[in-house]
């Protein structure tokens, strides 16, 4: 169930972010990799986050994950940053147009750090925020597959049982 739903989420991201005739070979390598991970016992959350980063990069929206956009200094695992879409992490307090994110999360997304439970939850929030920028504010249809009683916690990334697939609550969160 949950791995199938995650595969549908991946498919919808590809369909929504790629132009119809765009061959994007780098996307298909990441796509093959994430489907392989979803097909075995690999942790779902980390696989989805790696795919989202690779997809945005292939679409020309590459994320700055390893240095501060305002100073050029390397991102430090023990610091917090305001992530500015299309710019990257900066110092200071996030506003509505930015997302607060831990340096450890940015390092994990860059492939340079460990995926702790805190990093997974933080990365999920950041990637949702960033993906919405490129999806034009239109919600993903696959979000209804992840609904549990009308909503899911921000920390939970595991989709529900098959019975919840019929719930199309607008409050349901996507992967």
Q: How confident is the model at residue 59 (pLDDT cuts 50, 70, 90)?
A: confident
Task: Tell me which residue of 17, 24, 1, 8 sits closest to 127, measured CA to CA.
Answer: 17
Q: What confidence score (pLDDT) does residue 175 get?
A: 56
Backbone φ, ψ for residue 135 (5° rounding): -95, 5
Span 23-47, average pLDDT: 88
19 has pLDDT over 80: no
Task: Please provide the average confidence, as pLDDT, over all residues in the chain.
Answer: 81
Q: What confidence score (pLDDT) does residue 147 get?
A: 66
Predicted TM-score (pTM) of the model is: 0.80
Coil/strand/helix, residue 100: strand
CA angle 74, 155, 61 (to 5 degrees): 45
% of the chain with per-residue pLDDT over 70:
81
18 has pLDDT over 90: no
Q: How far apart are CA 19 and CA 14, in angstroms?
A: 9
Q: What confidence score (pLDDT) does residue 54 get?
A: 94
| Alpha-carbon separation of residue 55 from 34, 48, 101, 172 (angstroms) | 11, 10, 20, 23
More confident residue, 139 or 70: 70
Strands in 99-102's sheet, in edge-to-edge order, are 88-90, 80-84, 99-102
Query: What tens digit of pLDDT does each residue of 114-124 get?
Result: 999 999 999 99
Two tokens, residue 114? 């460990």
Q: Is 30 left (phi over 0), alpha (psi -120 to 50) or beta?
A: alpha
- Beta-bridged to residue 90, according to DSSP, are 82
Query: What tens digit of pLDDT does each residue of 89-112 get?
Result: 999 887 777 899 999 999 999 999
Span 141-168, average pLDDT: 44
Q: How far apart are CA 102 and CA 77, in angstroms?
A: 7
Q: How confident is the model at residue 50 (pLDDT cuts 50, 70, 90)?
A: very high
């Amino acid at each position: 169930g949950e791995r199938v739903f995650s595969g549908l989420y991946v498919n919808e991201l590809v369909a929504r972010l790629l132009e119809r005739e765009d061959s994007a070979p780098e996307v298909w390598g990441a796509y093959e990799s994430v489907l392989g991970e979803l097909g075995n016992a690999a942790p779902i959350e980390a696989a989805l986050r790696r795919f989202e980063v690779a997809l945005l990069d292939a679409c020309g929206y590459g994320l700055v994950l390893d240095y501060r956009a305002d100073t050029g200094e390397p991102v430090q695992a023990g610091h917090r940053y305001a992530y500015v879409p299309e710019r990257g992490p900066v110092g200071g307090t996030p506003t509505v147009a930015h997302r607060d994110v831990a340096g450890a999360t940015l390092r994990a997304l860059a492939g340079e750090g460990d995926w702790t439970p805190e990093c997974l939850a933080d990365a999920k929030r950041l990637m949702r925020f960033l993906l919405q920028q490129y999806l034009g504010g239109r919600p993903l249809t696959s979000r209804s597959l992840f609904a549990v009683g009308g909503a899911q916690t921000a920390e939970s990334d595991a989709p529900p049982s098959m019975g919840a697939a019929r719930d199309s609550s607008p409050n349901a969160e996507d992967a």
